[in-house]
Amino acid sequence: MNKVLVSLVALIAATASVPAVFAQQVASLETSRIVIAPPQTELARTIKSGLSAAYYGARPETAAHAEAQRLYFLYGERHFEPIWLTENGKGEIAFSPAANKIIDLFRNAASEGLVPADYLTPSISMDKLTGDGIALATLETAFSAATMRYANHLHNGRIKPQSISPLLDIQPKPIDEAALLEQLAGSNDPAAILATLEPQHPEFRALKAALANFEQSSAKRPTPIGEGPVLRPGNSDARLPAIRERLELTASTSSLYDALTVDAIKSFQEVQGLEIDGIIGPATVAALNGGAATRREDILANMERWRWMPSELGDFTVFVNIPEFRLAILRNGVEEYTTRVVVGTTKNQTPIFSDNIRHVVVNPYWNVPSSIIRGEIAPAVLSNPGYTDSHNMDLLYNGSPVSPWQVDWSQVSTSNFPFRVRQRPGAGNALGQIKFLFPNKHDVYLHDTPSKSLFGRSYRAFSHGCVRVQNPMEFADALMANEPNISRASLEAMFGSSERWVNPEKQIPVHIAYFTLRANPDGTLRAYGDVYGHNEKLIAAMGLVTAEEPAIVAEAENVPEELSP
């Protein structure tokens, strides 16, 4: 069917019967040429009338309004003719072959980690095929809405990330819905077209395979080890019999954490890359709950998070996984370098987002965030004006350094503290000797740190939100692998007291992610603790468990909070 291209003025004229407010809303859309074709059949006119009424009747800035708007223009491009309904030789209305194949996809949506009832709604039931023109028009547009919903769920997930936490700074990926519907309507294999919308990453495919095998698996799935206090040798805990079973030790009902179990835990920690201390804390419990003990809801939640990720991570990219406390550099999906990281505390969480590394800064100043100034530095300076000098810091007023000894502190309080604060380059600088910048609204980045001891721990959520890198110069060398004029040696040659900025020729994608399950190359799954509680909140939002406030992983030992990003 040929499409008729008309200008915006012609569009408004063609919709003269629509209320004026609707025409104004249409006119507020982009003024480039809009594809609209006048209806040529009775059914098409009914479809147009119903879509106009739905658009006008929906409250602006709601999901229903946005969906009605999309449908109006999608159908307007094709004379408002039906996509999913067809007439057989007997004059009867039926679903088209493409529609029937898509209905099969809806029925099998659970295999994709989705919910069939989200698409097989009462409004697209078979008995609607025998209705009048209005009922058929409603069926037609409801089917398109369900198909777009399914496509968006495949591509972007069912749950809006910000509904879990505002620190999940993730935006949906666009879909050309008009082109997609045209492709689907004319395809003999709509499943193949829709399959291109789901993540193509090997780890997503491994999770999908694990979901498919979950119910069919003949292996006995052990009950997950429950949360509880940190266990040290000699402690007693009711979980010890289950832990011994998981470690394939001789069965025992003893609740004592004995020497034999301690040795087995140390061996397990070594294999898992954990701190080999024999202490059963959150990270060790999470690792014990991986593999055969992985819950179905964890698989589904991690599949959902992969749908939130960009479709393309980049040929050469940095991937930080917060629950894993680990950073990796990937080239064409293959890991080239990895190191441990320290991330934000549960109070000062590291945000989840993707960006591009644009700058490397040697001998960096640390521009102290206002939250740290208010909460820590201002009270310290008010009680001791020499605090800034002792910490190699500058007080800045209107951008210029001010001596703390020239300030009348009787006129200053924590609530009206007028100074910015920066820490000068040096051995004690909180950012260490180098930082890696990807300018963002959260003011977080990757950086060195003088506090190296925390990298030896299994649980490493101790920063104010930035990501501290254990081996920053090794990381810098691996990161600059594609830069002919930048190397570890050239960066180290800049060490000194002056801040130096280096700008790579190519920006490097960086993804700060949150996966509690990671897939090995053989498809087996490794589990990590739900550091910020994002996983359990998502599981509840997906309707997989009764919604309740999730427990957040706690650290094994208290560590004094540092004045550091």
pLDDT (0 to 100) of residue 361: 98
Count CA atoms closer than 13 A to 523's CA, side-chain side. 10
Residue 104 lies inside a defined structural domain of this protein: yes
How long a stretch of residues is the chain?
565
Number of domains in the chain: 4
Structure tokens belonging to residue 460: 């490493």
Residue 227 lies inside a defined structural domain of this protein: no
CA 74, chain centre distance (Å): 30
Residue 260 lies inside a defined structural domain of this protein: yes
Residue 249 lies inside a defined structural domain of this protein: yes
CB 493 within 8 A of CB 470: no
Q: What are phi and psi of 86, to 5 degrees?
A: -140, 165
pLDDT (0 to 100) of residue 561: 56
Q: Are residues 399 and 499 in the same domain?
A: no
**Residue range of the domain that includes 252:** 240-280
Local structure of 178: helix, strand or coil: helix
Q: Are residues 127 and 179 in the same domain?
A: yes
Place of tokens 């057989």: 88
433/288 Cα distance (integer angstroms): 37
Q: Are residues 371 and 358 in the same domain?
A: no
Residue 527: CB atoms within 10 Å = 25
Residue 337: CB atoms within 10 Å = 17
* Active site residue ranges: 447, 466
Local structure of 447: helix, strand or coil: strand
453/165 Cα distance (integer angstroms): 30
pLDDT (0 to 100) of residue 553: 52
Given a cut of 70, whether residue 27 has pLDDT beyond it is no
Structure tokens belonging to residue 540: 């509840």
Query: Among 380, 396, 424, which residue terminates a domain?
Result: 424
List C-alpha distances in Å: 80 to 11, 26, 210, 379, 485.
14, 17, 43, 67, 59
Residue 188 lies inside a defined structural domain of this protein: yes
* Predicted confidence (pLDDT) per residue in 308-348, tens digit: 999 999 999 999 999 999 999 999 999 999 999 999 999 99
DSSP 8-class letter at 168: B
pLDDT (0 to 100) of residue 34: 56
Most confident of 28-37, 129-138, 221-230, 244-253: 244-253
Q: State percent of the chain over pLDDT 90.
A: 58
Average pLDDT of span 426-443: 93
Burial degree of 379 (CB within 10 A; 0-12, 13-18, 19+): middle
Residue 307 lies inside a defined structural domain of this protein: yes
Residue 476 lies inside a defined structural domain of this protein: yes
- Range scoring the smallest mean pLDDT among 57-71, 400-414, 525-539: 57-71
Q: Are residues 183 and 326 in the same domain?
A: no
pLDDT band at 93 (very low <50, low <70, confident <90, very high): confident
DSSP 8-class letter at 427: T
Residue 552: CB atoms within 10 Å = 16
Q: Are residues 304 and 449 in the same domain?
A: yes
Average pLDDT of span 211-221: 74
Report DSSP letters for 101-145, one per residue. HHHHHHHTGGGGT--GGGTS-GGG-GGGGGS-HHHHHHHHHHHHH
Q: Are residues 183 and 203 in the same domain?
A: no
291/525 Cα distance (integer angstroms): 5
pLDDT (0 to 100) of residue 166: 97
Cβ contacts of 163 within 8 Å, gap of 6 or more: 541
Q: Are residues 560 and 493 in the same domain?
A: yes
Q: Are residues 307 and 383 in the same domain?
A: no
Q: Are residues 212 and 331 in the same domain?
A: yes
502/505 Cα distance (integer angstroms): 10
Q: Are residues 250 and 341 in the same domain?
A: no
pLDDT (0 to 100) of residue 20: 35
Structure tokens belonging to residue 211: 């979901």
DSSP 8-class letter at 354: E
Record the pTM: 0.82
Cβ contacts of 377 within 8 Å, gap of 6 or more: 368, 387, 388, 393, 421, 563
* Predicted confidence (pLDDT) per residue in 222-268, tens digit: 778 888 889 999 999 999 999 998 888 888 889 999 999 999 999 98
Average pLDDT of span 32-43: 72
Residue 231 lies inside a defined structural domain of this protein: no
* Predicted confidence (pLDDT) per residue in 496-509, tens digit: 999 999 999 999 99
Q: Are residues 350 and 389 in the same domain?
A: no
CATH number for the domain harbouring residue 468: 2.40.440.10
CB 463 within 8 A of CB 457: no
Q: Are residues 68 and 144 in the same domain?
A: yes
